[in-house]
A and B are shown apart, each in its own frame.
Chain A
Amino acid sequence: AQKITQTQPGMFVQEKEAVTLDCTYDTSDQSYGLFWYKQPSSGEMIFLIYQGSYDEQNATEGRYSLNFQKARKSANLVISASQLGDSAMYFCAMRGMDSSYKLIFGSGTRLLVRP
């Protein structure tokens, strides 16, 4: 069975600094996808970044990058130059490459950016 673990219930970061949110996963699939979503207090889920298990390079999207270490089964999200608007819940999710396309989510990390 697939499982996502986020061990940091809450994190603080100073504005303009970088922060790393941890995510480890467990799967017996050879092919899978990893996602990060941001959920502000409004409740919407905002897609941030995607990493495929066979992608050789770490994914990047603007200030977001994914530190993918396949042997360690980790997919940490790095946010550079934190902004006050980055304060939110962040969820790591995984999808196997079967036809169901369903996402398995971690428990989330609440990030608070301090001015």
Chain B
Amino acid sequence: SAVISQKPSRDICQRGTSLTIQCQVDSQVTMMFWYRQQPGQSLTLIATANQGSEATYESGFVIDKFPISRPNLTFSTLTVSNMSPEDSSIYLCSVLWTAGGPAEQYFGPGTRLTVT
């Protein structure tokens, strides 16, 4: 399986500022995803990070608010822009792992964001 790390693990930010979250994988992967988990809720896909092209965003999420970069096959960043308290969530990076069997999906440890 893939080993995924995220930075920062947690942060407390002020309203109106931006935070960039990094996701690093120990192996090359084709597909990387960013999910959001609001307090007490389930996970919702924000976007799929595509290497060499624009990210694909889900309904309700826009590039201006959540710009994503994917410069290579092992790294991606998610920026949460112009933050408000409603952005307080756990943000999780996920990768698609195909190693001869069915494609499995693994998650990073998450970034716990609190906006004050």
- Residues of chain A touching chain B, judged by Cβ–Cβ distance below 8 Å, are 33, 35, 37, 42-47, 50, 52, 91, 93, 95, 100-103, 105-108
Please, which residue of chain B has its CB at the minimum distance from the CB of A104?
Answer: B45
Contact surface of B with A, Cβ cutoff 8 Å: 1, 31, 33, 37, 41-45, 48, 56, 58, 90, 92, 94, 96, 102-110, 112
Q: Is the CB of B110 within 8 A of A102?
A: no
Indicate if the CB atoms of A43 and B45 lie closer than 8 Å. no
Is the Cβ of A107 less than 8 Å from the Cβ of B42? yes
> How far is it, in angstroms, between the C-alpha of A72 and the C-alpha of B112 when the chains are bound?
37
Are B109 and A103 in contact, with the CB atoms below 8 A? Answer: no
Q: How many angstroms from the CA of A102 to the CA of B106 in the assembled complex?
A: 12
Residues of chain B lying within 8 A (CB to CB) of residue A43:
37, 90, 109-110, 112
**B107/A35 in contact, CB under 8 A:** no
A45-B92, A100-B48, A102-B33 given; A35·B105 CB < 8 A: yes
A91 to B92, CA, bound (A): 14
Question: Which of B90, B96, B102 has the largest number of chain A CB atoms within 10 A?
Answer: B102
Q: Is A102 within 8 A of B45, CB to CB?
A: yes
**B44: A residues at CB distance < 8 A:** 105
Contacts of A44 in B (CB 8 A): 107-110
B92 → chain A closest CB, angstroms:
6
A47 and B104 CA atoms in complex are apart in Å by 8
- Most chain B CB within 10 A, of A42, A46, A47, is at A47
Report the minimum CB–CB distance from B46 to chain A (whole Å).
Answer: 10
A27 to B1, CA, bound (A): 28
> A33 — which chain B residues lie within 8 A by C-beta?
102-103
